[in-house]
Amino acid sequence: LRMSTGTRILYTLLHVLASAVCCLMLSRTVAQAVREKVPFSAVLCKHLPGGADCERLVGSSAVYRVCFGTACFHLVQAALLLNVRSSTDCRAQLHNRYRDGAWGWGLLGALSPRRLLPHRFWLLKLLVLVGLCAASFFIPEDGFIQAWHYMGICGGFTFILIQLVLITAFAHTWNKNWLTGAVQDKRWYLAVLLATATFYTLASATFSFLYKYYTHPAACRLNKALLTINGSLCGIMSFISITPCVRLKQPWSGLLQSSIISCYVMYLTFSALSSRPPERVLYKGQNLTVCFPGVRQDELQTEDTTIAILGAAIMYACVLFACNEASYLAEVFGPLWMVKVYSFEFKKPSCCFCCPEKMEEELRGGCRVQETAGGQCIIQDERDHVVYSYSAFHFVFFLASLYVMMTLTNWFSYENAVLETTFTHGSWSTFWVKVSSCWACVVLYLWLLLSPL
């Protein structure tokens, strides 16, 4: 196990834990249980500024405060770890405690007193995070929630931009890498064709699924219009990517990257349609709730949380991927990685195309394998040069905390947000944020295609 990988896993688990706490605090069931079953809740509420009704312990206000603590936790580390180049830097100890071969990897390490030091370090990290979140509940209400809401909007949209850059860079890099291989070996063309067909098949299947389950003959006109627009945009992107004028300036442009972007556009469309409020319509003498997933055998739409949970899981997986990938690219390409990542030239094709050769060589040259007393094999891959930017890692997690906060609390309509309806009934503000993200992805990709002309 690489030391850099294990460290990121532990920080990811801390973020998952904080997000889970936010979900619990946003739940009506948990709020009722706190009021009825927690014996000291009434006493605690009296000492919190803002009243004795425990509103600060639950609901959107609690989510804002927990995310405030999580955001501060990562932002402070991002500032302190700026420009750290090696794990031997004294400041690197703030990110991952490493001393005399001991590494803070949970219970996987040895249990000797000398090696327990890093384990206490991770426990201290957890206590600091909990302390920051707890302290945020004592911040006076005067303008705090409103100011933090505006901060969340800015951070949330910045994180969305980073996600869009990552997906377009992912598609661009994949296409360029495999077409580079096709010049050397024609068998790579077959791989390109298979990947392109797979992504277009997924995009088409998603479009058909959405049109079947998210529309209704008597309603859902907005859903139908959005599907028509986004489906047309996917076709336009694909056509432009293979036009002679684009291919002349960008020989590596092709249908593979368009198919990946089309698939992502369909996912964003699915996420948007799953986030809009349902409609009520009188159809064949029955008063129906429509425009959200869930269809019984009698073709009457009924509420189903399975797809909502699946969508939320995919969304959070994308968040965690963005946090880790952005920090890696920031170390490889520097502060301007969002621009330089598109201009990287591959020397040879690889199935692991997301790892540039120069970084792979650095990893091979700077690694040293050590087996701990507990039998855990640790690859010390950051003694000479860090694999990913520590500062960027924590800064993107800071933005991710704001994005999760805004997503859970329905963005611009946070006052009445509750977990039971966030991922099933949604809100119009969440819907339009995701629609805007979808169209921004299309605009960004078209700009990449047309800007050299």
Query: Per-residue pLDDT tens for 74-89?
Result: 999 999 888 887 777 7
Q: Which residue has the tokens 């933005």?
A: 399
CB atoms under 10 Å from CB of 440, counted, come to 15
What average pLDDT does this structure show over 235-242?
Answer: 91
pLDDT of residue 113: 41
- How would residue 71 be classed by pLDDT, with cut points 50, 70 and 90? very high
- How would residue 421 be classed by pLDDT, with cut points 50, 70 and 90? low
The DSSP element (H or E) to which 281 belongs, if any, is strand 279-283
As beta bridge partners, residue 281 has 288
- How would residue 114 be classed by pLDDT, with cut points 50, 70 and 90? very low
Q: Quick check: 107 pLDDT over 60?
A: no
Quote the distance between the C-alpha of residue 370 and its chain's center. Answer: 33
Kindly state the DSSP code that residue 378 receives in the 8-state scheme: E
Q: Which residue has the tokens 């800064």?
A: 395
Q: Quick check: 125 pLDDT over 70?
A: yes
Q: Are 219 and 290 in contact (CB under 8 A)?
A: yes
What is the Cα–Cα distance from 4 to 170, expressed in whole angstroms?
Answer: 22
What is the Cα–Cα distance from 369 to 321, expressed in whole angstroms?
Answer: 26
Q: Quick check: 403 pLDDT over 70?
A: yes
Question: Nearest 5 degrees, angle CA 232-CA 233-CA 234?
Answer: 90
What is the Cα–Cα distance from 354 to 195, expressed in whole angstroms?
Answer: 16
Window from 109-118, 163-172, 185-194, 432-441 with minimum mean pLDDT: 109-118
Q: Quick check: 10 pLDDT over 90?
A: no
pLDDT of residue 1: 57
Q: Quick check: 230 pLDDT over 90?
A: yes
pLDDT of residue 115: 45
Q: Quick check: 62 pLDDT over 60?
A: yes
3-state secondary structure of 301: strand
Question: Nearest 5 degrees, angle CA 78-CA 79-CA 80?
Answer: 95
State residue 313 phi and psi, 5-degree precision. -65, -40
Write down the mean pLDDT value for the chain. 76
Window from 32-41, 194-203, 276-285, 398-407 with minimum mean pLDDT: 32-41
What average pLDDT does this structure show over 120-133?
Answer: 84
pLDDT of residue 437: 92
What average pLDDT does this structure show over 334-341?
Answer: 67
Q: What is the pTM of this model?
A: 0.81
pLDDT of residue 362: 41
